[in-house]
Amino acid sequence: MALPGRFLAATCLMSVAALTLSGCAGKETAAGAAGKEPAIGSFEKLSSTEGLEFPIAAYAATPDQQLQLKKAQNRLIEQCMKRFGFDYVLPAPTPPSGDDSNSRVFGLANAEDAAQFGYASPDRATDPAPVKRQSQAALSRTGQTVLNGVDPVAEAAAKAKGKAAAPTNQPMSQAEAEKAPGTGVIVNGKEVPVGGCGRESALKLYSPTPGSLDILYVFNLGGEAESRALRDSRVRKVTTKWSQCMADSGFTTSSPDNVQSDLGLEGGKLSSPEAITIAKADVACKTKVNYIGIRYAVQTAYENSLVEEHAETLALFKQQTQDRLRLAAQLNS
């Protein structure tokens, strides 16, 4: 698994409640753009992204581990709702796809997929049929208050006036939440936690103490690495070569990241005959200029640099991930 265009879907995994702990935007450290470009020897010729390994990804939860964490957070929400008298059961989270998560890490790269599907994902043709999701009874107004920590009617009224109905200075760890003033909202004799059961579940699993690292720490670090790589002169040069190759084939587009928007292939046009023609040219041009080989080498160099720079924090993050997984195993058993 890699980052962030390739990692975004996997890392913004935690549910809305968990994501309120921090934003999804990468944060670049002061050393960001100022450093020299890392030295790289010769570039390996690569025509596929499948099986590529990235240094920072070694510190991230795997798709299967992410699934266990999602299940565990659901259990915590359900347990919390039960305290207030609600038999609230969340649908089981969707299992990860069996596909290689790096198959499109630098855009479309598989010639067979390009010829058959264009820019559309082949998942629908290769993945098993989706599991039928269980129906879920609608929550009452009181139930929504317990889940979200704010009365939905009061929240709507506050929003209409441009105000916030819930506290804006919410605790950032479960330890803080247990000491901080509550919502003052009493349901069945118990005070609803700040942020409701949704936030409580996130704090218990991802931020039990003030020393808990941001759950998106690895994602943000990967985003920084990719930002540096995209500014690197070698990546900019090979992107220009790819763009010229596409122009020679009759398609004007600035980069593989923009090809679909540049050429109007959004929506239902991803697997159109036109999209397939463009996709085949895209993959052929990537191979011709060694776009994948250069992108991978440069990205890896920046990731290695950041792993070395943040080794101590990454080790702590990995330990905290293991702690979360142990708690998840208890909750899911």
Highest mean pLDDT among 2-16, 134-148, 281-295: 281-295
Higher pLDDT, 38 or 161: 38
List residues bridging with 107 in a β-sheet.
105
State the CB neighbour count (10 A cutoff) for residue 303: 25
**304 sits in which H/E element:** helix 291-309
pLDDT at 4 over 90: no
> Computed from CA positions of residues 171, 5, 316, 14, in that sequence, does the dihedral angle turn out positive or negative?
positive
* Residue 136, pLDDT score: 61
Residue 185 CB: number of other CB atoms within 10 A?
18
Contact 149, 193 (CB under 8 A): yes
The pLDDT assigned to 194 comes to 93
The per-residue pLDDT for 183 is 86
Question: What integer pLDDT is reported at residue 218 of this predicted model?
Answer: 97
**pLDDT at residue number 13:** 41
Half-sphere CA count of 21, side-chain side, radius 13 A? 30
Q: What number of helices (H) and strands (E) belong to the chain?
A: 15, 2
In this prediction, residue 7 has a pLDDT band, given cuts at 50, 70 and 90, of: very low
Q: What percent of the chain has pLDDT over 90?
A: 70
The mean per-residue pLDDT over the stretch 39-60 comes to 94
**With contact defined as beta carbons under 8 Å apart, do 13 and 60 qualify?**
no
User: In angstroms, rounded to a whole number, what is the distance separating the alpha carbons of residues 287 and 174?
Assistant: 50
Amino acid at position 4, single letter: P
Give pLDDT, residue 162.
Answer: 86
Kind and range of the H or E run holding 6: none
Residue 258 and residue 102: Cα distance in Å, rounded? 18
Rounded Cα–Cα distance for residues 37 and 270 (Å): 36
pLDDT class of 161 with cuts at 50, 70, 90: confident
pLDDT value, residue 133: 54
Inform me whether the pLDDT recorded for 27 exceeds 70: no
Give 248-303 pLDDT, tens digit per residue. 999 999 999 999 999 998 778 899 999 999 999 999 999 999 999 999 999 999 99
- Residue carrying structure tokens 């470009």: 37
Query: Is the distance from CB of 306 to CB of 46 less than 8 angstroms?
Result: no
Q: What is the mean pLDDT of residues 131-137?
A: 56
Of these ranges, 110-124, 150-164, 311-325, the one predicted with the greatest mean pLDDT is: 311-325
Is 311 a residue whose pLDDT tops 60? yes
Q: 163: pLDDT confidence band, cut at 50, 70 and 90?
A: confident
In order, the DSSP letters of 120-141 are S-THHHHSPPPPPPPP-PPPPH
Helix locations, 38-186, DSSP H: 63-83, 111-117, 123-126, 141-148, 152-160, 174-179
User: Which segments of the chain are extended strands (E)?
Assistant: 186-187, 190-191
DSSP states along 310-331: THHHHHHHHHHHHHHHHHHHHH
